[in-house]
Amino acid sequence: MFKLKRQKFLFALTFLSIVSMDTFAAAQSHYLIAKRCLTDRLTSQAEKLASTQDFVLLKATDAVRDELIAAKADRTKLCGGFIDVSHEWLMKRKVKRSAAQAEAFLLEQIGSDKMAESNATSSYAVRYEKQVETILKNLNPQNMWADLTKLTNFQDRYANSGTGNEAAQWIKTTVADMAKLANRDDVTLWEVPTGGYSQPSIVAKIGKGDESGVVIGGHMDTLRGTSYNKKPGADDDGTGSVTVLETARILIQSDMRFKKPIYVIWYAAEEMGLVGSSYVVRDFKKKAIPVDAVMQLDMTGFAYKNEPTMWLLSDYVNADLTTYLEKLITTYVKKEVKYTRCGYGCSDHASWHKYGFKAAAPFEAKFGQENHYIHTSNDTMDHLSLDHMTDYAKLAVAFAVEMAEPVSKA
């Protein structure tokens, strides 16, 4: 009898611990920066710590953050997204901040994230056409479709759910298996923890060199789903995730080697305010890992009215690198290229751009004409174009090869 009571007590204690941990995580405040046009849509109360003509620094609850996520998905006005700066805020706060200190913090954060429009010309050159054309022959669109089927079968890939962590581990295991199958001893995998979220970001380094490298990434997370309201995230950002995965597969299975290392990354908690990529960038800086160029793949599968046009973001990116992507598309994909804007904190490239790295971001459609099913249970594969995804995979592979500079075969 005593043993049974003790077991019940331990079960109750464990259950309460789990609930308490979840409640504690939910009760934590988030320090967020967003544009006024986004925060003006809020109905929940949020503490405004500082503001400028265009930007607001908020101390927000989960409810406020979730409202901003919903507002971000409303593409009727160019407001962009928001960035969670909780780490930076809390690291610098030794005592309670004054209003003046909060304003200085806001100015510092947005000052490091200046918007940049694209140049008409690029200083980068296309130099390795033979190597790119050779390696592109190994691209298999059906791999992406199969990988996307796997990712969308999770109930969600939410940054604080068990299935979100399972998705991350599946990606990590898949890449490790690629390296093992190809007998590669120069592929290194590691996880980057994501603060208060259980889902880690996954980083794979291809190559042993320490030269300034090339980064290609996409975010793997979705919003929270339930058994009756799944969040498959097929396009947002399953398409980007599997495009990165196919790029990794082609590079790993190839016998091509490169002067510079290539980092392929799947970011956690992008939907929560670019949290995962912020931790990844700080991890790179802490380890003094040099980076030449970054490409973000967020939503590559929806072709508006089946138009094959490829789009490049022109704001909060490096102008020179972005123009180079146009050159790569013209050379290797041979599709029309147009430019569109996405706004502040649009995706994970903003984390790199904020810290001074050269970043660029292709996108599936013109702003306002992208997939409107994102963030819902209807973000499914039947709305996607595999041909469109394949075009962005070609771009990613060409970017990796040209920027990393092939040197020899193994």
3-state SS of 209-223 is CCCCEEEEEEECCEC
pTM of the predicted protein model: 0.91
**CA 191/CA 239 separation, integer angstroms:** 21
Residue of 116, 118, 114, 117 whose CA lies nearest to 55: 114
**CA 284/CA 288 separation, integer angstroms:** 6
From first to last of its 410 residues, what are the pLDDT tens digits of the chain?
444 444 444 444 443 333 333 333 444 799 999 999 999 999 988 999 999 999 999 999 999 999 999 998 876 677 899 999 999 998 876 556 788 899 999 999 998 665 555 456 678 999 999 999 999 999 999 999 999 999 999 999 999 999 999 999 999 999 999 999 999 999 999 999 999 999 999 999 999 999 999 999 999 999 999 999 999 999 999 999 999 999 999 999 999 999 999 999 999 999 999 999 999 999 999 999 999 999 999 999 999 999 999 999 999 999 999 999 999 999 999 999 999 999 999 999 999 999 999 999 999 999 999 999 999 999 999 999 999 999 999 999 999 999 999 997 64
Going from N- to C-terminal start, the domains of the chain cover: 2-111, 129-409
Alpha helices in 61-160 (DSSP H): 62-73, 86-92, 99-111, 129-136, 141-152
**CA 115/CA 331 separation, integer angstroms:** 27
**CA 85/CA 107 separation, integer angstroms:** 13
Q: Which residues pair with 60 in a beta bridge?
A: 30
Which phi and psi angles does 366 have, rounded to 5°? -65, 145
Q: What does the DSSP 8-state code read for residue 97?
A: P
Q: Which residues pair with 311 in a beta bridge?
A: 338, 363
Q: Which CATH superfamily is domain 129-409 in?
A: Zn peptidases (3.40.630.10)
